[in-house]
């Protein structure tokens, strides 16, 4: 389970450090590989392989033959996906196309969202928080928290 918010910086070679707290979690897994793809609010999503397999099962079960929008979703979401593996220092390489998509230059906010992590350009994360903050309490009430 991933939770919390962490600020890190992209290195000149497009490498990003995993937060120290998450490195321990990564190191305990037999398979240290993750899937990185473009998210829905111009962030990046990173899934452990077991969580990614659940996502792909859902996507594979969608009736794509007759649905243009489902085919488009599959194409975009899956074409951006790539396998990443932290190096010995806990860094992962962010491909340039995904870095461009998310508008990442230097400061990156990493947030835990239970079964996956999201990587946000710091400015986009702050703007997103300002945008959704007014509805945060209403949403919590609506879902019974």
Condensed to tens digits (0 to 9), the pLDDT of residues 99-110 reads 999 999 999 999
Handedness of CA 107, 10, 53, 5 (dihedral sign): negative
Euclidean distance between CA atoms 45 and 84, whole angstroms: 12
pLDDT at position 77 is 95
pLDDT of 133 over the 70 cut: yes
Euclidean distance between CA atoms 55 and 51, whole angstroms: 7
Give the CATH number, domain containing residue 10.
Answer: 3.40.1550.20
Average pLDDT score over residue span 103-128: 95
User: Minimal CA–CA distance to 96: which of 18, 34, 15, 8?
Assistant: 15
Model confidence, pTM: 0.89
The domain in which residue 98 lies consists of 5-142
Q: What strand order describes the sheet that includes 5-9?
A: 5-9, 107-113, 116-121, 44-48, 34-38, 82-84
pLDDT at position 98 is 97
User: Minimal CA–CA distance to 89: which of 30, 38, 15, 9?
Assistant: 15
Number of domains in the chain: 1
CA–chain centroid gap for 91, Å, is 15
């Amino acid at each position: 389970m991933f939770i919390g918010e962490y600020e890190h910086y992209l290195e000149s070679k497009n490498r990003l450090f995993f937060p120290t707290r998450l490195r321990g979690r990564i190191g305990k897994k037999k398979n240290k590989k993750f899937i990185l793809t473009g998210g829905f609010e111009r962030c990046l999503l990173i899934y452990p392989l077991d969580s990614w397999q659940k996502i792909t099962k859902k996507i594979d079960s969608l009736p794509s033959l007759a649905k243009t929008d489902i085919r488009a979703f599959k194409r975009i979401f899956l074409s951006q996906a790539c396998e990443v593996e932290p190096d010995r220092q806990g860094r992962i390489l962010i491909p340039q196309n995904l870095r461009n998509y998310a508008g990442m230059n230097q400061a990156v906010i990493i947030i835990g969202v239970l079964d996956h992590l999201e990587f946000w350009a710091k400015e986009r994360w702050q703007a997103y928080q300002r945008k959704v903050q007014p509805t945060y309490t209403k949403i919590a009430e609506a879902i019974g928290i």
